[in-house]
Amino acid sequence: MITVWGGQTSRSIRVVWVLEEMGLPYRLKQVDMLADEQDPAFLAVNPANYIPAIQDGDVVMIESIAIMEYLMARYGPTPLAPAPHDPAFPAYQQFLHLGEAGLATLLMPVVVSRFLAPAAERENWGASWCLQAFQKRLKLVSGRLAVSPYLAGEMFTAADISVTYALNLAQRNCGVTLGDAEQAYLARTTGRDAYRRAMARSFEGVDT
Ligand SMILES: N[C@@H](CCC(=O)N[C@@H](CS)C(=O)NCC(=O)O)C(=O)O
């Protein structure tokens, strides 16, 4: 059984969403990243103390996109991951990684400045720069959605799972206003049954 260590509104939703799309059994353990003390069992899995992480038999993995790629490769094939010879593959690969490396990562300084920094440090140059860089890179998503319903093309893939998390985070916690095309796109991706199940599981509580 795959164990996912995650949190309710964290990047673990990407992992749980992939598991739900693929119909794989898993159990979910909630980690409170703001707690003063962390569960030693979790720290044994990820001594760097961040989520998501998975345990699958002897395999331990950290980093949401890497975990998604592992699950799709180990338990696929799945339409979530187009094969390398598929014409959709280059765009798939690009947007799968853009979602974290190019978008969500830039939002972390914005989130911690807004919600965790001392009042005097909330408005800071670094966080403003990150937000501007995010807006610039968002043009890649908007341009793609102007010509296709999903980021890899006609079909929903894991690239959409990756980028949907980043767009939701931007809207929810960073004051970013998305355009009509991006809103319609989010309605398409988050309207999927597997997303609804993943959200329900993530908010359900702790699996033993
Ligand atoms: N690049 C990592 C980012 C992970 C990350 O930033 N996780 C957040 C929750 S969504 C976290 O645990 N933050 C607390 C920390 O880093 O101390 C991934 O995609 O998994």
Cβ(10) – ligand 1 distance below 6 Å: yes
Task: Establish whether domains 2-78 and 89-192 are of one fold.
Answer: no
Residue 189 near ligand 1, beta carbon < 6 Å:
no
Q: Which of 30, 49, 51, 173 to mutate to test the pocket of ligand 1 (most atoms within 8 A of CB)?
A: 51
Distance 70 CA to ligand 1 centre (A): 18
Whether residue 29 has its Cβ less than 6 Å from ligand 1: no
CA distances from 128 to 96, 108, 125, 133, 168 (A): 25, 11, 5, 9, 19
Residue 182, CB half-sphere, CA atoms under 13 Å: how many? 19
Reported confidence tier of residue 62, pLDDT bands at 50, 70, 90: very high
**Residue 164's pLDDT band (cuts 50, 70, 90):** very high
Per-residue pLDDT at 205 exceeds 90:
no
The pLDDT confidence band at residue 51, using thresholds 50, 70 and 90, is very high
pLDDT in tens, 89-109: 999 999 999 999 999 999 999
CATH number assigned to the domain covering 2-78: 3.40.30.10
Among 28-37, 87-96, 132-141, which is the least confidently predicted range?
28-37
Q: Where are the domains of the chain?
A: 2-78, 89-192
Q: How far is the CA of 51 from the centre of ligand 1 (A)?
A: 5
Instruction: Judge if the beta carbon of residue 160 lies within 6 A of ligand 1.
Output: no
- The CATH class, in words, for 89-192 is mainly alpha
Assess whether pLDDT exceeds 80 at residue 208: no
**What pLDDT is stored for residue 175 in this prediction?**
96
Determine the distance separating the centroid of ligand 1 and the alpha carbon of 197, expressed in angstroms: 22
